[in-house]
Amino acid sequence: MRRVLVVAAACAAAAGFAAVGAGATNECRGLQVCVPVVGPWVVTGGGEVSFELSCPARFVVGGLDAELSRRGVDVAFRGRLGSPVNPGITTSTSAVFLARLLVQGPSATFRPHLGCIPASGGGERFPTVYRPQQAIVPTAVQITVTAGVRRYATHCAAGMRLIGATHAIGFYTDAPPEMPLVRSIGVRQTITGGIVHLVVRAGPLEGVSAIVQVDMLCA
């Protein structure tokens, strides 16, 4: 049986991830009211992969967790500046997970989890000379994968400039996807004139739901 590793973080405590033994995920630990949200198994390779996961309407991220298909995957999340480190200040209605494979070998996967709590407004930020502004806005576009070759194009909202873009492949399966399934989807990304172009090639998915998420940094 494939062993799944679990890493966890709670915004109300520390913003880092610490490896723990295999078992239930902990995104709702210590939260009195919590709605768990689970994402797909996201493929990680040589470079850093980002994946955005959102809470339901009127909820903010209060806890995070992730499952790993094997050791050697580093997972973190992008948080905002502010004090105290807290839901609604460090986090918002969604979280961007950042993952990188640190060991040699075939691709691995991770599955992100959110613990969502009712939004009640954030606290005051710690005074600084210049109040931090969200100059770069992460923007995610999700594409449902179907067999064959498909071409897509996407861009930032009007009045915003594209800084960079990455993409991630995700599989909605109960267990980490096997390598033949992972390798059945290939994505080629190019950027021309502020527009992100994707060519997605996929073999037969045999009833598996798969997505490609494009993560753009817009300024």
Measured between alpha carbons, how far is residue 73 from residues 26, 38, 154, 209 in Å? Answer: 18, 18, 29, 23
pLDDT score of 85: 84
pLDDT score of 16: 33
163, 138 Cβ separation under 8 angstroms:
no
Domain count, the chain: 2
Q: Which residue has the higher pLDDT, 81 or 54?
A: 54
Identify whether 207 is part of a domain: yes
The mean per-residue pLDDT over the stretch 160-181 comes to: 95
Q: Each residue of 121-161: pLDDT tens digit?
A: 444 444 444 445 566 778 899 999 999 999 999 999 999 99
Tell me, what CATH number does 108's domain have? 2.60.120
pLDDT score of 134: 60
Identify whether 143 is part of a domain: yes
Q: Each residue of 97-128: pLDDT tens digit?
A: 999 999 888 889 999 999 999 987 444 444 44
The mean per-residue pLDDT over the stretch 35-53 comes to: 93
Q: Are residues 149 and 105 in the same domain?
A: no
Q: Are residues 102 and 165 in the same domain?
A: no
Q: Is the pLDDT of residue 3 over 50?
A: no
Identify whether 129 is part of a domain: no
Cis before 84? omega within 30? yes
Query: By residue range, what is the domain housing residue 163?
Result: 137-218
- Structural domain ending residue among the three candidates 60, 87, 118: 118
pLDDT score of 19: 34
Identify whether 128 is part of a domain: no
Identify whether 125 is part of a domain: no
